[in-house]
Structure 1
Amino acid sequence: MQWEGISEFVHVAENASFTQASKKMAISTAQVSRQISALENRLNVKLFYRTTRKVSLTEEGRVFYQHCRSVLDGLDAAERAITNLQTTPQGKIKLTASVTYGEQQVLPLVSDFMLQYSEVAVSAYLSNQQIDLVEGGYDLAIRIGKLADSSMMAKKLGTRTSYVCASPEYLEKHGIPHAISELSKHSCLLGTLDYWHFMESGKEKNIRVAGKLRYNSGYSLADAALKGLGIVQLPDYYVQNHLQSGELITLLDSYRVPDEGIWAIYPHNRHLSPKIRLLVDYLAKHLS
């Protein structure tokens, strides 16, 4: 009720005509007149002097017009601001990812994204723990593998391949394993787990492996493999360049597990704002 008649009043004041105001608003002159009369009754004041030839503001009408014009200008500015948010991303994005993948793959792309969209501010926290996005106030998480949390929405960004590999020098000295059962005869470079993932007869298997070396760093495990210390199983981003250069050789390819999904996830009940959608699309384009 408080806004009824305001737009009609401003149009009549600016056009000095009920007829012209009705044309601008694409409504009938009678409707404009009814709204103005209702507004005057509600305010208990006369806003216009009306004659058959002229419409002009009363003193009270001029004061009221100045305030109404200011309010409508503010509404126009608010609408433009929302429109700009839709077209030009701006504001804060809080995201999380695993440490190594975040450092090597995600954050460099986020930095490139920020070069394109200078009004965006990003806060990233890298952790190998499963962080509660809602409790932590996160807009987005980048996660790898199977997703179990049904309260989250997810978009697939790409895939990750895990390779079993070793240096030519190690293989020349110790031989090439042709079946996963032969790994027990080899020095396996261990990470945080005591087993490796394989596919055999169409089923996933966890095979326990052993060796004299254990690091909780993928880079250090890749370095140890390059130096001929043993066989390693690592995701592609640790070893891809070394495989291409021939410094490492892939093994047991027929037992390789299917590629794992790389996902952007976000709370189910949180609206995916334009800036988040743009970032997710940007990551998907470059990580696919």
Structure 2
Amino acid sequence: MTKIWQGISEFAAVADTGSFTEAARYLDISVAQVSRNISELEARLDIKLLYRSTRRVSLTEEGTLYLQHCRNLVSSLDEANRSITNLKATPRGLIKITAPVYYGEYHLAPLLNQFLVEYPEVELDLQLTNTKLDLIQGSFDLAVRLGQLESSSLIARRLSSRTQHIVAAPDYLAQHGTPQTPAELSQHQCLLGSVDGWRILNEQGKPFLFRPQGRLRCNSGPTLLDAALRGLGLAQLPDYYVKQAVADKKLTMVLEGSRMPDDGIWAVYPQNRHLSAKVRHLVEFLVKRL
């Protein structure tokens, strides 16, 4: 089984460098060993892969075809070796992250600070924005995103989940009534966020997008929470915004039977980051604590 691989790395190195000497230097072995292993490879295949002369080395037609497959094999082997090495590697270096403002400030930042405590060789660049930044263009290692993910080439790992609740102040409900069905929402003042609609279940239990109408639109969750507390209308907000106000009976959840199933809180990162020890350790750290 070992001999199946013998000579492949040497052949690829000679083909890429155009020299037995340079290939030997790259692989940190002797020129004689490079030549011997390639000769044995050619003997096993019963095919001549290289034209050798005193001045140059070139590929045969069969060697050109074989090289394409060898490069894939060498690349896969290198990637496998890196992944195993990274399992034991200590996270170090800069990690550039982006996350939504409120969630980043109140839920993510304390954990990231603790990560810095536990891994002193790591540096963090945290950019909080409610705008979805391009991770590749911005050279980000990681983004934390909320809710439904758009289809993309990014790798996603679920960190936690969130529940969207429709809430209102008791005084508002006493004055305007409590909606009993999703259809009744159209009769109420609704506090609008950055999205065009509220995802809820209709009376048949099927998802639909309700497009609310109201006097206030704002892309800030805390602003909508404050407006709801002041009795300005109904708001749909994640559980981490409203949990304490509901517990203190300052807000009341409505239409809980029409609530959508929980959606995700995600770590997303470019495909070329998934083998990085620092990113892998950070994602695992967040999964355990969120």
Calculate the TM-score normalised by the size of structure 2.
0.67
Separation of aligned partners in 1, 2:185 and 2:229: 18
Matches within 5 A, 1:181-196: 181-196=183-198
Q: Which residue is 2:76 aligned to?
A: none
Contact 2:169 2:228 in 1 (8 A): yes
Separation of aligned partners in 2, 1:219 and 1:4: 63
Matches within 5 A, 1:204-283: 204-283=207-286
| Deviation of 1:212 (Å) | 2.0
| Deviation of 1:191 (Å) | 1.9
Separation of aligned partners in 2, 1:91 and 1:178: 54
Calculate the TM-score normalised by the size of structure 1.
0.67
| Deviation of 1:242 (Å) | 0.9
Q: CA RMSD in A?
A: 2.2
Separation of aligned partners in 2, 1:129 and 1:165: 25
Number of residue pairs the alignment of both structures matches: 211
Contact 2:86 2:276 in 1 (8 A): no
Matches within 5 A, 1:1-288: 1=24, 3-4=28-29, 86-200=88-202, 201-287=204-290
- Quickly say closer, same or farther: Cα 1:140–1:255, change in 2 above 3 A: same
Separation of aligned partners in 2, 1:268 and 1:179: 44
Q: Note the alpha carbon deviations across 1:190-213, whole angstroms, 9 max, x for none.
A: 223443221122422111222222
- Quickly say closer, same or farther: Cα 1:183–1:139, change in 2 above 3 A: same
- Quickly say closer, same or farther: Cα 1:172–1:121, change in 2 above 3 A: same
Separation of aligned partners in 1, 2:262 and 2:155: 21
Partner of 1:164: helix, strand, or coil? strand
| Deviation of 1:99 (Å) | 2.1
Partner of 2:130: helix, strand, or coil? coil
2:201 partner letter: M
Separation of aligned partners in 1, 2:283 and 2:246: 29
Separation of aligned partners in 1, 2:170 and 2:136: 48
Partner of 1:159: helix, strand, or coil? strand
Partner of 2:136: helix, strand, or coil? helix
Point out where structure 1 has 5 or more consecutive residues left out of the alignment.
6-81
